Every structure is written in structure tokens, then in C-alpha cells.
Chain A
Amino acid sequence: MTAELSGADILIQALNDLGVEVIFGYPGGAVLPIYDALFKQKRIRHILVRHEAGAVHAAEGYARSTGKPGVALVTSGPGATNAVTGIADALMDSIPLVVVTGQVGTPLIGTDAFQECDTVGITRHCTKHNYLVKDPAKLGDVIHEAFHIATSGRPGPVVVDLPKDVQVATATYRKPSVQELPHRGYKPQVKADPALIETAVEMMAAAERPILYTGGGIINAGPAASQLLRELARISGAPVTSTLMGLGAFPASDPNWLGMLGMHGTYEANMAMNEADLIVCLGARFDDRVTGRLDAFSPHSKKIHVDIDRSSINKTVRVDVGIVGDVGRAIEDMIKLWKARQHTAQDLAPWFARIEGWRARQSLKYATSTKEIMPQLAIRKLWEATHAKNPIITTEVGQHQMWAAQHFHFEAPNKWLTSGGLGTMGYGLPAAIGAQLGNPNALVIDIAGEASIQMNIQELGTATQFRLPVKIFILNNEYMGMVRQWQDLTYAGRYSSSYSDALPDFVKLAEAYGWKGICIEKVDELEPGIAAMIAHDGPVIVDCRVAKLANCFPMIPSGAAHTEMILEAAEVVGEMDDEAKALV
């Protein structure tokens, strides 16, 4: 007979068996038994955050940069509700997380007890799956299944709600095999249907204007999938564009790279999507930020969609061939069949000639200035100074995020961490902390805005405490720039509440937390300021004062077609009608 363990010890034992090295968390009444169990062991490192939102975003950053699942531990009630934004963020961006929440003891559930909330009810629709564990004998299997569900199929967050009495009560623990997990019906389809792969390969070989439209699924499929994508692009000769989430899967230095597509994508990427005769969507999901107006989206193309989530196929855009499976393995199958049939691509020279014509529009060019620092130039200089070090870049949400996506060029996967689906301001700093923990020797930079950074600014203390040398590079324009940009476009420049008033002195704030603070105000301070940031071996905030009224272009206005792209700031004027105002 195996000795019985407390629920808290079963949790720790299961996490050990699953190879967990780091937990991001915040203690409280309903998780005290787990914190005591953590205190008594040495293998799992606990990173104390300053707010539960920070714990979940840090776990996301850890997961996205390492490929391993992120783990967060929070208490009941407000601990759990504070974690909800991060959990919803991870669901939208398919990030594998396991979030353990404390709960009041089982006899108190439903009595409005102190720090009680219906965590399972609240998180039901922002998790891939969730559990309330009422029996310590089932806890081990649930933890193992939570990791299996979080990391397999389309990855996502799983919440395990653990009442305090279940943490104290004892039971035996065994390490289960996948076949012994409770939900027998959960079997994500990994291997694509060979007949559909064959159809896809024949369509690719026949295409005269093909384009590979790639997304975060390639990153989730592991580094090998990025290598396979390069091979598929090489043999098929097709140009490649990517969603925000997929940046880095295909090297930005490759001549076939068109840049990001969608609302703030390049002219060439969006025009190529519009004019293509074949779109091969690999691990992306035809998000509204990508498609623009649906009835005008790529009207003349055949469409192939490879996705591990069947519900993503035909959700918004009808496709000709929908292939359910792991995108990395599907690409591998395509490459094998292409080679076995000794296919050669059609003559794509006329297609690339048209693409070069669109490229010549130089959609990412921006006005230069000697008086003000253009935000695009700041990103460019940051890239020049750091790209040789293969930095990990996180962002907050807004204009700075789009400028970073446009002007910071990524060569490898897992280096770009951003909140794409949910668009969570306050993601970047905790995500950088998580990424730094998973990659202790990497240069990790949070490209931020002065508004977003204040949403989880308390996490400065976490980096200080754990000696994490993360850098925050703030493009400070004293506005919630993307809100203001939409007010320019839609509401005739009525800047309702989008001015960042009463800003802190970021240099003094940095110093108050034991960080280094650098302020960059002039163009000629940009290079030395960035160099000083990199040279400092601890955490640094750079307050880079940029042009206040610069807007992010190119832009497809919400509800417009790919061909209706705004390239120049001068084209932005006036007030839109109600139909346009109702669009997000």
C-alpha cells in the first residue's frame, strides 16, 4: 500500500512528474496548504508576482518562449477573478497554461463564504477545459489530464479549482498513463487525411499565383514546423505572409517574405492575398483583423485551410479544402508528396513581378523628422542594435505593438510574444518576466506604450526581486495612440479620454524599484540610449519620447477590403457613418 499524501503534496508530486520547473503565483487563504508544500521542497521554483494578472501573463510568456506549458497558482475569489483576463488571453492565442486556483472548503461552497467565487462557472468559457476537484484521490489524474489537454490538440488554458479541504485531505497518488486519464473521448486529430493532402499538393503544383498565409499554429506546432514551412516555401516557390501571432515562423530576411498581412499589414501582403489564385492557410484562422470585409476577401482564390481545430475551418471564410491536423505534420506530408511526385512549381515570375510592383509602393515608409523621434525609427534603431543577439520581444497593445510588428524583423519562432486575439494591455511586462525566466541568458525587451505599461506596472517589483534583467522600451507619445488614431479616423478627431495625463516620471519610477531609468528625447540620443540599455546588466526602463501625433499606417479601416488600404496619414480625415462606427 502506497503511503497517502495530502492533496497539496499530490499536486506538487504531479507537477514534479510533469517536469514543471517554475510556477508564477500569489498566496492567499485558500492556497496556504499548497504554499506550505511548496516551502518544503526545492525542485519547483515559485515566482511571486505582484498581481494575479501578472502571474498568468508571465506564465504565457514562459510558455510562448519555451514551448513548455506555463503554470500559475492563485488563491480563491479575487485571486481567481484577477487571473481571468490572462486565462481569456491564453484561450484566444492558444497558449498552453495550467492555472491552479484555491477554493473555499467543500462544505462552504455555495454559501457566499469569504473569498468565495464560482471559479469554474466564471472560467468555463475562457478555458479549454476546467475542473473542480472534490476528491483528493482524483487530483493526481486531473492534474495530469490538465497538462495533457493544455498542451495537445489546439493548446489552451486549463483551470483546476482546488478546495482547501481537498488540499489537506489525504489519498494515494499514482502517475497515470494517457490511457488512464478520465476523459476517454478527448482525442484531438493530429494526422491529416492523406486524400486531402494529395488534393492540396496538386492544387499547389497547379497554382500560378499561390500564397502561404501562416499563423500562430506554426509556432505552436514546434520549431520543426517553422523549418518545414521554409522547405515548403522553397520547393513551391510561393510567397509567404503571416498573421501577428505567426511572426518569426518564416524569416523576415527571406526574399519570399511579404511581411505581416491584415489591418496593419503591408500593401504587398494584402494585395497578394487579394489577387492570389490559391491561398494556403497554415495554422491561422481568418481573423477579422486579417480578412477585412469578408465579401471582398480574396475573391478569386481557391482556399486550403490546415488547422488542428475543426471549428476554425469554415468559421468565417468558406474554404475549398479544409484539413484537420497538426500543421507541422501536414506540411511534412505535403513536402513528401510534392517530392515523391517530382512536382515543380509553375512559372511564378509573372506573379512575383506583380508583387514587386506592390512592394515598390513602400507601404511601411514614414515621414522623417530631425526634431521629433518618429516611433518607427525608434523601433528600427532598436532592431539594428539588438537583432544580432536574437532578442525576445514582448509588447503591450496598441500603436507601439503594430509598429513593432511592422519594423522589428523576426528570423526565428518563439521570439515574438504579443497579445493578438484578446488584445490585452498590460501583457508585455509580465510576459517578458516569464520569458526571461524561461530563457535566462536571452535579451528580453518589452516594447510598450506609456499607457499600456501602467496596466501591470506593479510587476517591476517582481523583476527586481528575482534579478531578471528585462528591458522596457516605452514609445511615449502621451496618448493611447490607437484609440486616438480611431478617433481621428471615425470621430473627426474628438479625442475623448485618450490623452495620457498625469504620467509618472518613468526614470524616477524605475529608480524607485531599483531599475535603471533612461530618458531619450532627441533623435541623436536614440542610439546611445539604446546602447546604454543593452549594456546595463539589470532591468531598465527606457522612456523614449516619440512624435505625439504619429499614426500607424498602412491601415485597412475596419470593414474595408484589402484593396481599400490607407497608405498615407494625409488620407485620414473626418467622420464615419453609423455602420462604420459599429465595427470593431
Chain B
Amino acid sequence: MHIKQQATERHTLSITVDNESGILARIAGLFSSRGYNIDSLTVADITEDEKVSRITIVTNGTPEVIEQVVAQLDRMVPVHKVTDLSVLGPHVERELALVKVVGTGDHRIEALRLAEVYRARVVDSTTSSFIFEVTGGTEKIDKFLELMREVGLVEVARTGVAAIARGKEAL
């Protein structure tokens, strides 16, 4: 017997929650306990009084599973609002990566040239290394890292996706 797999799609969810202890464990735990996927997760408080946090989760699943993810999140007591940005319409997604590249000679020059193409900033350097700061969509970051691997990438730190809907309406 074999376990069957079904086609999935990627969705970006924005969740506003009460900023209280254990909230991240509650949200992340829901995903693990019900077998949903988290591709990336970011969280930070967003109000002046620090009482509300915004969590951005990139998930993938069948349309039925995505509908369940939203409904399951929505019924949690500390959750204020769940928005499926992928369903809502056009939105901006950004993540930030810090990329450490080590090398000398041609590799070093090539790394700098590529960084310019990707609008990555040098935030630290030694005679044999750079740290680049690059922001953009997930795909752009992925591509940048792929290229950096060829010119001496040794370490990466990524934030995961923050996302917001286009236009003048606020959530």
C-alpha cells in the first residue's frame, strides 16, 4: 500500500492576533497537529500599544485544505482576523536575507557584480568576505542564493515573507 499525494497551491495568509504569551505556539501547533504545511512564518506586534501582532504565513495545500486552514485559524480565541491575501487579490510580498560570501579574486568580483544586479547591499566586509543584505520576493531571494552558492556562499539568514495587499484599503 502507498500513501496518495494531491496537487497543492501556495497561499499567503495574514493573521492578526492578541499579542500574548504562547500565541505563536498555538498558531504553529495548529498547523502541525492538523497536518498543514508552513513554508514560512513571520510575526511582530504592529500596534502602538503592542496588543496586536500580525502573523504572515505562507502555506501550501489543496484548495479544500486552504479553506480549512483559514476556518481553523479563524475560530481560535486570540485570533482577530484571518485574510487569505492570495484570494483577496494583488499583494506585495517581501523577505529579507543576510548572505555571507567568502572568497578572493574572481569569485569576489563576481559576487559584487551579481549583488549589484540584485540590488543587494554590502553591510559588512573583510578582505576575504562580504555580507549582503537583499530584499525581495521569495523567488528573487532563491535565485540570488543560487548564484551566490557558485561564488562562495557560506551562511544565510532569511526572515520569511511579510505581505500586504495593494491599494488604499487596510485590513
Contact = CB atoms under 8 A, between A and B. Distances in A.
Same complex: yes
Contact of B1 (A120, A318, A578): A578
A132 B1 CA distance: 44
A514 B21 CA distance: 49
B87 interface: no
B93 interface: no
B22 to A, nearest CB: 6
A309 B80 contact: no
B28 to A, nearest CB: 10
Contacts of A154: 75
Contacts of B22: 120, 124, 132
Nearest to A581: B1
Interface residues of B, number: 23
B86 interface: no
Contact of B75 (A120, A310, A318, A578): A310
Interface stretch (B64-72, B99-107, B135-143, B152-160): B64-72
Interface in A273-326: 309-311, 313-315, 318
Contact of A582 (B1, B76, B77): B1
Contacts of B29: 124-125
A333 B110 CA distance: 71
A125, A149, A153: residue with the most chain B Cβ atoms closer than 10 Å: A125
B13 to A, nearest CB: 15
A132 B77 CA distance: 15
B155 to A, nearest CB: 31
Interface string A175-186: 000000011111
Contact of B77 (A186, A318, A578): A186
Interface string B9-39: 0000000011001100110011001000000
Contacts of B68: 311, 314-315
B1 A579 contact: yes
A147 to B, nearest CB: 13
B75 A149 contact: no
B164 interface: no
A183 B64 contact: no
A129 interface: yes
A182 B68 CA distance: 26
A128 to B, nearest CB: 7
A440 interface: no
A121, A186, A311, A582: residue with the most chain B Cβ atoms closer than 10 Å: A311
B74 A310 contact: yes
Contacts, number: 50
Contacts of B71: 310-311, 313, 315
B64 A314 contact: yes
A463 B22 CA distance: 39
B18 A185 contact: yes
B135 to A, nearest CB: 31
Contacts of A183: 18, 77-78
Contacts of B30: 125
A408 to B, nearest CB: 34
B1 A185 contact: no
A124, A185, A309, A579: residue with the most chain B Cβ atoms closer than 10 Å: A185
B79 interface: yes
Contacts of B80: 184-185
A16 to B, nearest CB: 24
Contacts of A124: 22, 25-26, 29
B25 A121 contact: yes
Contacts of A311: 68, 71-72, 74-75
Nearest to A145: B77
A113 to B, nearest CB: 19
Contacts of A314: 64, 67-68
A579 B3 CA distance: 10
Given A185-B79, A582-B1, A125 B33 contact: yes
Nearest to A182: B18
Interface in A134-174: 149, 153-154
Interface in A233-273: none
Given A125-B29, A132-B21, A185 B72 contact: no
A149 B76 CA distance: 11
A309 B75 contact: yes
Interface string A101-141: 00000000000000000001100110011001000000000
A182 B74 CA distance: 17
A128 B79 CA distance: 13
B26 to A, nearest CB: 6
Contact of A149 (B17, B64, B77): B77
Contacts of B81: 185
Nearest to A149: B77
Contacts of A125: 29-30, 33
Contacts of A579: 1
Contacts of B17: 185
A579 B76 CA distance: 35
B60 to A, nearest CB: 19
A244 B71 CA distance: 25
A412 to B, nearest CB: 30
A315 B64 CA distance: 8
Nearest to B33: A125
A579 B4 CA distance: 12
A1 B1 CA distance: 70
B116 to A, nearest CB: 46
Nearest to A120: B22
A443 B46 CA distance: 57
Interface in A565-584: 578-579, 582
Contacts of B74: 310-311
Contacts of A313: 71
A582 B3 CA distance: 10
A5 B2 CA distance: 61
Nearest to B78: A183
Contacts of B77: 128-129, 149, 183, 185-186
Given A183-B18, A184-B80, A185-B79, 7 more contacts: A124-B22, A125-B33, A132-B21, A185-B77, A185-B78, A311-B74, A314-B68
22 contacts: A120-B22, A124-B25, A124-B26, A125-B30, A129-B77, A132-B21, A149-B77, A183-B77, A185-B18, A185-B77, A185-B79, A185-B81, A186-B77, A309-B75, A310-B71, A311-B68, A311-B71, A311-B72, A313-B71, A314-B64, A315-B71, A579-B1
The 3 closest A-B pairs by CB, nearest first: A311-B71, A185-B80, A578-B1
